[in-house]
Chain A
Amino acid sequence: DQQVKQNSPSLSVQEGRISILNCDYTNSMFDYFLWYKKYPAEGPTFLISISSIKDKNEDGRFTVFLNKSAKHLSLHIVPSQPGDSAVYFCAASNYGQNFVFGPGTRLSVLP
């Protein structure tokens, strides 16, 4: 049973435009959500997170939105840059109990 889903395996966006990566989860006990970015032959790198008590968290070009009723979160990157091309993993945590990664979405930012 896949508790964290990223239904788009890949996404292509033009440089300067907005990238929107989506993530859905099934376990209503998850209370913390994170996005990681991964380049080839490297480990995932933490990008941004959000607690379930919030609906938005922003850090520079990166904003994460959480819709608890829909069990959906999204990562917005504005403006997208070629260096943002990577695989983005959504992850969900239930404090001390569970930590699950999604399958990832490969983002390609075209110059």
Chain B
Amino acid sequence: DTAVSQTPKYLVTQMGNDKSIKCEQNLGHDTMYWYKQDSKKFLKIMFSYNNKELIINETVPNRFSPKSPDKAHLNLHINSLELGDSAVYFCASSHGRGFSNQPQHFGDGTRLSIL
């Protein structure tokens, strides 16, 4: 069973469109995260939710809106996609409350390409 699964794996779309990426974890973790890996391969935190509550919100355009229907799911919705949004987006989860000293478990990433 996949511990952290995100869909889709690949997403190719045109500038200006709205798209969503879904993430689910079956590890019973309390905290989930979204990361962006840019062209320089840096992994940067975007958001973190603990038991459906937003606890970390880094400087991210408000076109990005995370939604957590329950603690096992954290979806990422992106409005009005721009060329600079092209990246690999990783979902992760961990025990504890945001940036605790608990290892994070990552999904396999969603490669978003904007045409």
Contact = CB atoms under 8 A, between A and B. Distances in A.
* Physical interaction between A and B: yes
Interface of A: 31-32, 34, 36, 41-46, 49, 51, 87, 89, 93-99, 101, 103-104
Contacts of A42: 108-109
Interface in B32-80: 40-45
B103 interface: yes
Contacts of B107: 43
B99 A44 contact: no
B66 to A, nearest CB: 17
B81 interface: no
B99 A95 contact: yes
A48 to B, nearest CB: 9
B100 A95 contact: yes
Contacts of B43: 44, 89, 101
B7 interface: no
A31 B44 CA distance: 19
Given A89-B43, A103-B41, A44 B101 contact: no
25 contacts: A34-B103, A36-B106, A41-B108, A42-B108, A43-B106, A43-B108, A44-B106, A46-B103, A46-B104, A49-B101, A51-B101, A87-B41, A93-B99, A93-B101, A95-B100, A96-B98, A96-B100, A97-B99, A99-B45, A99-B99, A101-B42, A101-B44, A103-B40, A103-B41, A104-B41
